[in-house]
């Protein structure tokens, strides 16, 4: 069955208030006090976004105060200050996506608990772990214990994120009509990158000078407070309450049956290869700038903020065209931009171009433009390729296998960089070292993705 706005408009009156009295009573008192509406299916329209979905934008903005710090440059810089090498950084970068395999068992929670409740308890619990991470920087006195504390908190954080995070895409694709999903996903990225920019600016202020390990407690505490407020916004996002929706989207579909669908299979393979190529780019650019170029922590965080700025500025253009021209043209342009990004970093690492703040800022800006537009277009394409029947499990499996690839990528590249070590070779003015080899491989491997993108199916799945 095709997921169209007509389905919502033709919903029966019972779908508007489908929950039995005992189920409504059993709902969390906290959710009822928050005043979160359950939008009747008959109010959904292709003309615009459903009422109450503005809270999803505020959730995206406040949630983005957490992940750029807990999963981004501040975390890697903190680990680097504790003496972590490339392989250790690769393991840290790999943990969150690898534990996203928990999306699969998490899909079984959604029909019983509902999307919103799964997200609230998962996101609320993981926010507690951010407070614990900030505390470990203060109570532990040795670098070894601090690094152990980072690993413990990140494992628990990623476990909760994996169990609950799979509810988001089935939730919003069930709530947002197909012909305005591009608008929604672009707005989601816009809010998210605005929060990303705020998080980076705050981290830059917290890490000015030559920060000691204890000083990293400040950005972690900032992230924890932002995460707490984001959960309050999440409580106001409309839920999908129709029992027939949960019955259909919660249908268990075998992985073999999923992969027999050509569109879904192609989308999985494409995203796996994309993650294998680009999964380590963020962490190893940070390692390169800190370990080889010698930029300060605050400079790296500030320069990496150019990626958020580039994403925010370019999303205005993308938002105006994505629902008209489709996802594939924007994804192709983004991949071409990533090829240029890899070439630029290769030129810097190979000492062809000086590693000036201007050059690094331009590369981060282009990374943001490519990454954010690709993510928005890719999310829209996923929502079209995944059928409504069994949607929870489709998204669970898709996110799990793609995130496993994203986790394997920094492990593989980190191991390769450790094996190359400090070996160098010079060809004229070009120096081949571990980082210039990594960026050159990235540029070469990103080229076939352009051809694969053209083969993806953009027609709505049945």
Q: Residues 187-224: pLDDT tens digits?
A: 887 888 788 888 888 888 888 877 788 888 899 999 99
Q: Which residue, among 14, 243, 227, 252, has the nearest Cα to 114 in the 3D structure?
A: 243
Specify if 13 maps to a domain: no
Q: Cβ distance 94 to 146 under 8 Å?
A: no
Specify if 35 maps to a domain: no
Provide, rounded to the nearest whole percent, the portion of the chain with pLDDT above 90: 18
Q: How many angstroms from the chain centroid is the CA of residue 113?
A: 24
Specify if 413 maps to a domain: yes
Q: Give the pLDDT confidence score for residue 116 in this predicted structure.
A: 85
Q: Give the pLDDT confidence score for residue 37 in this predicted structure.
A: 42
Specify if 55 maps to a domain: yes
Total of domains in the chain? 1
CATH number of domain containing 167 = 1.20.1250.20
Inform me whether the pLDDT recorded for 413 exceeds 80. Answer: yes
In whole angstroms, give the CA distance from residue 345 to residue 353: 9
What would the mean pLDDT of 416-435 be, rounded to a whole number?
85
Inform me whether the pLDDT recorded for 445 exceeds 60. Answer: yes
For the segment 160-185, what is each residue's pLDDT rounded down to a tens digit?
988 888 788 888 877 887 777 777 87
Q: Give the pLDDT confidence score for residue 436 in this predicted structure.
A: 92
Q: Give the pLDDT confidence score for residue 340 in this predicted structure.
A: 95
Locus of tokens 């994203």: 406
3-state secondary structure the chain: CCCCHHHHHCCCHHHHCCCCHHHHHHCCHHHHHHCCCECCHHHCCCCCCCCCCHHHHHHHHHHCCCHHHHCCHHHHHHHHHCCCCHHHHHHHHHHHHHHHHHHHHHCCCHHHHCHHHHHHHHHHHHHHHHHHHHHHHHHCCCHHHHHHHHHHHHHHHHHHHHHHHCCHHHHHHHHCCHHHHHHHHHHHHHHHHHHHHHHHHHHHHHCCCCCCHHHHHHHHHHHHHHHHHHHHHHCCCCECCCHHHHHHHCCCCCHHHHHHCHHHHHHHHHHHHHHHHHCCHHHHHHHHHHHHHCCCHHHHHHHHHHHHHHHHHHHHHHHHHHHHHCHHHHHHHHHHHHHHHHHHHHHHHCCCCCCCHHHHHHHHHHHHHHHHHHHHHHHHHHHHHCCCCCHHHHHHHHHHHHHHHHHHHHHHHHHHHHHHCCCCEEECCEEECHHHHHHHHHHHHHHHHHHHHHCCCCCCCC
In whole angstroms, give the CA distance from residue 367 to residue 126: 28
Q: Give the pLDDT confidence score for residue 47 in this predicted structure.
A: 43
Q: Which residue, among 391, 368, 385, 398, has the nearest Cα to 458 in the 3D structure?
A: 385
| Predicted confidence band of residue 9 (pLDDT cuts 50, 70, 90) | very low
For the segment 148-162, what is each residue's pLDDT rounded down to a tens digit?
998 999 999 989 988
Q: Which residue, among 125, 115, 120, has the nearest Cα to 158 in the 3D structure?
A: 125
In whole angstroms, give the CA distance from residue 400 to residue 403: 5
In whole angstroms, give the CA distance from residue 449 to residue 453: 6
The number of residues in the chain equals 462
Inform me whether the pLDDT recorded for 129 exceeds 80. Answer: yes
Q: Give the pLDDT confidence score for residue 320 in this predicted structure.
A: 63
Range among 71-85, 127-141, 196-210 rated most confident: 127-141
Inform me whether the pLDDT recorded for 35 exceeds 50. Answer: no
**Phi, psi angles (nearest 5°) of residue 29:** -60, -35
In whole angstroms, give the CA distance from residue 428 to residue 351: 11
Mean pLDDT of the chain: 78
| Predicted confidence band of residue 461 (pLDDT cuts 50, 70, 90) | low
More reliable by pLDDT, 446 or 309? 446
| Predicted confidence band of residue 298 (pLDDT cuts 50, 70, 90) | confident
Specify if 295 maps to a domain: yes
Inform me whether the pLDDT recorded for 246 exceeds 70. Answer: no
Q: Which residue, among 44, 40, 48, has the nearest Cα to 18 in the 3D structure?
A: 40
Specify if 16 maps to a domain: no
For the segment 103-118, what is each residue's pLDDT rounded down to a tens digit?
778 777 777 778 888 8
What would the mean pLDDT of 443-452 be, rounded to a whole number?
92
Q: Which residue, among 378, 250, 223, 366, has the nearest Cα to 303 in the 3D structure?
A: 366
Q: Identify any residues that bridge with 38 across adjacent strands, giving them in sequence order.
A: 239
Burial class (CB in 10 A: 0-12, 13-18, 19+), 457: middle
First to last CA, the chain: 5
In whole angstroms, give the CA distance from residue 388 to residue 249: 6
Q: Which two tokens stand for residue 461?
A: 């799945």
Specify if 23 maps to a domain: no
For the segment 320-374, what is each residue's pLDDT rounded down to a tens digit?
677 677 788 889 999 999 999 999 999 999 989 988 889 999 999 999 889 888 9
Q: Cβ distance 85 to 413 under 8 Å?
A: no
Locus of tokens 């504790």: 82
Range of the domain at 228: 51-454
Specify if 231 maps to a domain: yes
């Amino acid at each position: 069955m095709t997921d169209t706005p007509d389905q919502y408009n033709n919903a029966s009156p019972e779908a508007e208030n489908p929950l039995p009295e005992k189920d409504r009573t059993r709902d969390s008192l906290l959710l009822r006090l928050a005043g979160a509406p359950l939008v009747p299916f008959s109010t959904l329209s292709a003309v615009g976004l459903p009422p109450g979905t503005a809270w999803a934008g505020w959730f995206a903005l406040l949630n983005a105060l957490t992940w750029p710090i807990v999963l981004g440059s501040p975390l890697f810089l903190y680990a680097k200050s504790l003496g972590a090498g490339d392989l250790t950084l690769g393991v840290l970068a790999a943990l969150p996506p690898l534990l996203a395999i928990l999306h699969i068992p998490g899909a079984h929670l959604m029909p019983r608990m509902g999307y919103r409740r799964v997200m609230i308890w998962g996101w609320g619990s993981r926010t507690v772990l951010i407070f614990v991470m900030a505390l470990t920087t203060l109570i532990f006195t040795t670098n070894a214990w601090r690094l152990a504390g980072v690993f413990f908190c990140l494992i628990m954080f990623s476990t909760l994120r994996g169990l609950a995070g799979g509810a988001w895409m089935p939730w919003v694709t069930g709530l947002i009509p197909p012909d305005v999903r591009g608008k929604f996903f672009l707005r989601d990225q816009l809010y998210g990158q605005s929060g990303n920019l705020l998080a980076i600016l705050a981290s830059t202020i917290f890490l000015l000078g030559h920060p000691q390990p204890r000083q990293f407690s400040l950005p972690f505490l900032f992230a924890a407070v932002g995460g707490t407020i984001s959960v309050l916004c999440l409580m106001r996002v409309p839920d999908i309450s129709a029992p027939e929706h949960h019955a259909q989207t919660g249908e268990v579909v075998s992985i073999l049956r999923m992969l027999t669908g050509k569109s879904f299979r192609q989308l999985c393979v494409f995203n796996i290869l994309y993650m294998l190529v680009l999964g380590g780019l963020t962490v190893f650019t940070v390692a390169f700038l800190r370990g080889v170029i010698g930029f300060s922590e605050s400079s790296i965080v500030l320069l990496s903020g150019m990626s958020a700025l580039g994403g925010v500025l370019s999303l205005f253009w993308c938002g105006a065209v994505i629902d008209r021209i489709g996802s594939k043209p924007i994804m192709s342009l983004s991949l071409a931009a990533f090829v240029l990004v890899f070439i630029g970093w290769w030129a810097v690492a190979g000492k062809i171009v000086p590693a000036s703040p201007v050059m690094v800022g331009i590369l981060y800006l282009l990374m943001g433009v490519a990454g954010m537009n690709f993510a928005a277009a890719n999310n829209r394409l996923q929502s079209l390729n995944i059928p409504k029947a069994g949607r929870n499990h489709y998204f669970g499996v898709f996110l799990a296998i793609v995130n496993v690839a994203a986790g394997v990528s920094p492990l593989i590249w980190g191991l390769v960089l450790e094996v190359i070590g400090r070996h160098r070779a010079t060809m004229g003015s070009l120096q081949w070292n571990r980082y210039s080899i990594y960026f050159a491989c990235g540029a070469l491997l990103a080229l076939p993705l352009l051809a694969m993108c053209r083969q993806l199916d953009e027609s709505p799945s049945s």
